[in-house]
C-alpha cells in the first residue's frame, strides 16, 4: 500500500510542478551562456572571434518566441552561427523550420548538422543546406569546412547524428586541413563522446538532451537518454583519455546557472565538449530550472591559470 501511495503522491507532485511551470512559461526568456575558450598560439585575427551556438529549436515547440530567438542571436553579434540539429518538432513543421533557419542564417555565415528528428521526419537535406546558405554557410553531414577570418583558418567538423544518422568520422576527417588554428566539431548528441579523442577538435558542441528539461534542485537530470551518462545532460566537459576514458566535468548545469560571468577554459589540456540545454521542448512542453539556452563562445589566446575549477556540482 505504501509504494502505491508514494507513487500517487509523486505523480500529483509532478502534475503540480508541470501546471506551475506552464503557468509561468510566458515569463521564460532565453539565457545566454558565455564560454571563453583560450587556445594556445591563437592567431591574432581570431582573437575575440564570437561564435553563437543553438540547438534543438523544435520549431512548433519553441520555448521562446521566434522574435526573441532572432533578437538574442542578433544582440550577440556573432561572427559565426552554429546549429546543432532537431530543427522541427514534427513533420508538419518542416517548412516553418526551414523559414526560421533562413532567417537565422540571412546575415551571417551559418553552419549546422542534422539531428535525430531530421532523420525521423525525412527532411530534405538539400533544402536544409539551401536554408543555411544565405550568409555563406551550409549543412555539414560528415564534412569538414575551413572558414577564413583575416587569413587565419577556423575548421568546422560537422558530423551526422551518432544515434539515428550515418556517422562517419573518417570521412569528415579526410577533409581536415593541417593549417587550421582552431577546430570546432558539431554533433547532435553527446553520445559522440567516446570518439572525441579521434576527432581531435578543440571543442565539440552537442545538444539533444534539452538539459533534462525538468531539473530537481541541485541534482542530475532524472529524465534523459540511455545512450550517455546522465551527468552529460548539460554543461562543459573535458575528455580524459585514461585507461578507461571518461568525461571530466569542468562546469556543470548548476554552476553555469548560478554564475553569470563567462566560463573561461583552456583548450590546451584536451578536447572539450559543451552540451547545450537547447531552445525548444519535447513531448513534455515544460522546463523547470532548465531555461532555454544560447551559447556564445569567444576565442582568446591561452592564459594559464584563468580556467574555471573542474568538479561536480
The confidence band for 24, taking pLDDT boundaries of 50, 70 and 90, is very low
Of 11 and 225, the structure prediction assigns the larger pLDDT to 225
Say if 1 falls within a structural domain. Answer: no
The predicted model scores a pTM of 0.90
pLDDT value at residue 241? 82
For residue 65, is pLDDT > 70? Answer: yes
For residue 198, is pLDDT > 70? Answer: yes
The residue among 35, 50, 40 whose CA lies nearest residue 304 is: 40
Say if 145 falls within a structural domain. Answer: yes
Read off the DSSP letter of residue 199. Answer: H
Cα distance between residue 195 and residue 302, in whole Å: 25
- 35: exposed, middle or buried (Cβ count in 10 Å: 0-12, 13-18, 19+): buried
pLDDT value at residue 309? 47
The confidence band for 23, taking pLDDT boundaries of 50, 70 and 90, is very low
Question: Dihedral through CA 102, CA 203, CA 78, CA 213, nearest 10?
Answer: 70
Say if 22 falls within a structural domain. Answer: no
Helix (H, G, I), strand (E, B) or coil at 13: helix
- Mind giving me the DSSP string for 141-168? SSEEEEEEETTEEEEEEE---TTTS---
pLDDT value at residue 310? 46
Helix (H, G, I), strand (E, B) or coil at 235: strand
Q: Tens digits of per-residue pLDDT, 113-160?
A: 999 999 999 999 999 999 999 999 999 999 999 999 999 999 999 999
Say if 10 falls within a structural domain. Answer: no
Question: What CATH number is attached to the domain comprising 127?
Answer: 3.60.21
User: What are the DSSP E strand ranges found in 126-284?
Assistant: 138-139, 143-149, 152-158, 182-186, 203-206, 235-240, 246-252, 263-266, 272-275
The confidence band for 304, taking pLDDT boundaries of 50, 70 and 90, is low
Question: Range of 103's domain?
Answer: 29-301
Look at strands 80-83 and 110-112 and give their pairing.
parallel
Q: Tens digits of per-residue pLDDT, 242-263?
A: 766 789 999 999 999 998 889 9
For residue 3, is pLDDT > 80? Answer: no
Q: Which residues, including other chains, have CB under 8 Å from residue 83's CB and lie 6 or more apart?
A: 53, 54, 55, 57, 101, 104, 110, 111, 112, 113, 132
The confidence band for 47, taking pLDDT boundaries of 50, 70 and 90, is very high
pLDDT value at residue 229? 87
Helix (H) / strand (E) containing 110? strand 110-112
Mean pLDDT of the chain: 90
For residue 212, is pLDDT > 90? Answer: yes
Question: Dihedral through CA 133, CA 183, CA 181, CA 249, nearest 10?
Answer: 140
Say if 7 falls within a structural domain. Answer: no
Cα distance between residue 273 and residue 12, in whole Å: 37
pLDDT value at residue 19? 46
Say if 273 falls within a structural domain. Answer: yes
pLDDT value at residue 242? 74
Show contacts of 214-220: CB within 8 Å, 24+ apart: 214/17, 214/21, 214/284, 214/286, 214/287, 214/288, 214/289, 214/290, 215/253, 215/288, 215/289, 215/290, 216/289, 217/289, 218/254, 218/313
Say if 72 falls within a structural domain. Answer: yes
237 is written with which cell numbers?
566537459
Of 32-46, 151-165, 229-243, 298-312, the range with the lowest mean pLDDT is: 298-312
Say if 307 falls within a structural domain. Answer: no
Burial of 259-296, coded b for 16+ CB within 10 Å and e otherwise, reads eeebbbbbbeeebbbbbbbbbbbbeebbbbbbbbbbbb
Q: Tens digits of per-residue pLDDT, 152-196?
A: 999 999 999 999 999 999 999 999 999 999 999 999 999 999 999
pLDDT value at residue 244? 66
Q: How many domains does the chain have?
A: 1
For residue 20, is pLDDT > 50? Answer: no
Cα distance between residue 37 and residue 24, in whole Å: 34
Mean pLDDT of 7-30: 52
Q: Tens digits of per-residue pLDDT, 213-231?
A: 999 999 999 888 878 888 9
pLDDT more than 90, % of the chain:
80
Amino acid at each position: 500500500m505504501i509504494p502505491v501511495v508514494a507513487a500517487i503522491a509523486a505523480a500529483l507532485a509532478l502534475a503540480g510542478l508541470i501546471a506551475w511551470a506552464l503557468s509561468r512559461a510566458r515569463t521564460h526568456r532565453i539565457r545566454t551562456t558565455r564560454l571563453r575558450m583560450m587556445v594556445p598560439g591563437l592567431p591574432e585575427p581570431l582573437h575575440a572571434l564570437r561564435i553563437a551556438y543553438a540547438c534543438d529549436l523544435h520549431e512548433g515547440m519553441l520555448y521562446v518566441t521566434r522574435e526573441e530567438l532572432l533578437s538574442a542571436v542578433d544582440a550577440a553579434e556573432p561572427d559565426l552561427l552554429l546549429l546543432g540539429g532537431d530543427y522541427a518538432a514534427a513533420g508538419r513543421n518542416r517548412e516553418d523550420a526551414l523559414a526560421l533557419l533562413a532567417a537565422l542564417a540571412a546575415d551571417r555565415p551559418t553552419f549546422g548538422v542534422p539531428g535525430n528528428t531530421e532523420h525521423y521526419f525525412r527532411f530534405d537535406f538539400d533544402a536544409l543546406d539551401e536554408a543555411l546558405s544565405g550568409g555563406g554557410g551550409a549543412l555539414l553531414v560528415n564534412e569538414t569546412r575551413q572558414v577564413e577570418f583575416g587569413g587565419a583558418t577556423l575548421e568546422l567538423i560537422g558530423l551526422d547524428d551518432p544515434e539515428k544518422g550515418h556517422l562517419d568520422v573518417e570521412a569528415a576527417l579526410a577533409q581536415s586541413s593541417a593549417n587550421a588554428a582552431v577546430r570546432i566539431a558539431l554533433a547532435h548528441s553527446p553520445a559522440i563522446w567516446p570518439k572525441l579523442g579521434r576527432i581531435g577538435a578543440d571543442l565539440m558542441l552537442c545538444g539533444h538532451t534539452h538539459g533534462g528539461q525538468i531539473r530537481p534542485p541541485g541534482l542530475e537530470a532524472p529524465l534523459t537518454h540511455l545512450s550517455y551518462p546522465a551527468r552529460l545532460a548539460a554543461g562543459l566537459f573535458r575528455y580524459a583519455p585514461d585507461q578507461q576514458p571518461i568525461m571530466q566535468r569542468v562546469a556543470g548545469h548548476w554552476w553555469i546557472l548560478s554564475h553569470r560571468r563567462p566560463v573561461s577554459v583552456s583548450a590546451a589540456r584536451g578536447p572539450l565538449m559543451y552540451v547545450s540545454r537547447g531552445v525548444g521542448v519535447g513531448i513534455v512542453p515544460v522546463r523547470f530550472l532548465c531555461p532555454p539556452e544560447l551559447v556564445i563562445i569567444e576565442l582568446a589566446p591561452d592564459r594559464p591559470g584563468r580556467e574555471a575549477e573542474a568538479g561536480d556540482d
